[in-house]
Amino acid sequence: MVILIPSFRKYNDLFNNIVGPDAKIEILYEDQSLPFAHEAGVYIPETGDLWITSNQYQAQEGGPKEIRISRVSGVDSGEINVEAIEPDPAILSMPNGGVNYQDGVLFCAQGNLNIPGGLVYMERKPPYAVHRLVEGFLGRDFNSLNDVVVHSDGSIWFTDPIYGYEQGIRPQPMLPNQVYRFNPADGGIRAVADGFGRPNGICFSPDENIVYITDTAWIHGDGSISFQRPSTIYAFDVATYSEQPFLTNRRLFAFADVGIPDGIKCDMQGNVYSGCGDGVNVWSPGGVLLGKILIPRGVSNFCFGPTGTLFLLNEHKLYKIQLGTPVVGALLKWPEKCQ
């Protein structure tokens, strides 16, 4: 474990309340042989474990691309142990984003050239059994699910860009770049938002009246970049018609100036955090850039841990940063372990 002096860039005095006076940052784990820390970032309060997914890599030269799930224990104590998890690849293929769900983790399975992707629930205890919840829409396979969040009513909201096709791991797309809502209670699934270049990260505001969705079309899956394409966070209001939720009042919430806004989360004060090309950027609920937690080569995704902590995924490095103690992630909503 390496303790570093944190580097911040403040744009607004409100950022002082987030960072706090005694902020520190640590490298909890590093592996230069594998981009193990890329997506998901799911903290389990009951055990203090962190679940993460790697970026794509080739275990053998000329072999197929793979993605590893890692269970990282000891992130609270600093006594780190990293366990590679190998669930049934016929059910959970090429996992990406994830979220706390029931007594385990809900993953976005991108799928591969032969196996469709979908939402897959994995139990967090050995033998880590996996269960597919949904794998397509209106008889069509999803493109390559990216990120997912769970509403307090039990519904599951997720993004589905065409990155997998561009990266050569999925067949030609059969659906647009869209965002979906799945209701496990009745098995119903709906497309709730479209018009994106590449929908990516998704989260709710603390009161769940707003959905934030990132559009990362600035970079395509083939690696091409265009400054004319979105690197943008959009906000939508969650409205109800005939007892069904709809997304309305789409608006540009923020634009990321370095790289793309990938993973996205809110704290309990409604501030919006996103992993970008220069670290974690933080905006007020009104869309004002408050400041940045600067990390060399950026942050793809991250998650909140116990009060005042963030776990940052930096491909080959896993960071832990201690912020101001009042800072709590909206996803955890003050569970007992985090008080």
Q: Are 86 and 98 in contact, with CB atoms under 8 Å apart? A: no
pLDDT of residue 334: 53
What whole-number distance in Å separates Cα of residue 127 and Cα of residue 110? 22
Residue 224 in tokens: 């091409």
Q: What is the CATH number of the domain that holds 15?
A: 2.120.10.30
Contacts of 278-283 with C-beta under 8 Å, sequence gap 24+, read: 279/312, 280/310, 280/312, 281/254, 281/256, 282/15, 282/18, 283/233, 283/253, 283/254
Q: What is the pLDDT of residues 35-85, one digit of tens each?
A: 999 999 999 999 999 999 999 999 888 889 999 999 999 998 889 999 999
Please give the pLDDT value at position 337: 41
Query: Does pLDDT of 163 surpass 60?
Result: yes
Domain count, the chain: 1
**What is the three-state SS of 278-335?**
CEEEEECCCCCEEEEEECCCCCCEEEECCCCEEEEECECEEEEEECCCCCCECCCCCC
For range 265-288, the mean pLDDT: 97
Cis peptide leading into residue 127 (ω within 30°):
yes
Residue 338 pLDDT level (bands cut at 50, 70, 90): very low
Q: For residue 31, what are the domain limits?
A: 2-338
Do 48 and 73 touch, CB atoms closer than 8 A?
yes
pLDDT value for 103: 92
Long-range contacts from 60-66, C-beta under 8 angstroms, 24+ separation:
64/112, 65/94, 65/167, 65/168, 65/169, 66/94
pLDDT digits (tens, 9 = 90+) for 99-132: 999 999 999 999 999 999 999 999 999 999 999 9
Residue type, 96: N
Rounded Cα–Cα distance for residues 185 and 199 (Å):
25
The predicted pLDDT at position 5 comes to: 63
**Residue 240 burial (10 A CB sphere; 0-12, 13-18, 19+):** exposed
Q: For residue 3, what pLDDT is reported?
A: 60
| pLDDT (tens digit per residue) in 280-330 | 999 999 999 999 999 999 999 999 998 889 999 999 999 999 998 789 999
Share of the chain above pLDDT 90, in %: 88
DSSP 246-275: EEEEEEEEEE-SSS---SEEEBTT--EEEE
Task: Check residue 339 and give its pLDDT.
Answer: 34
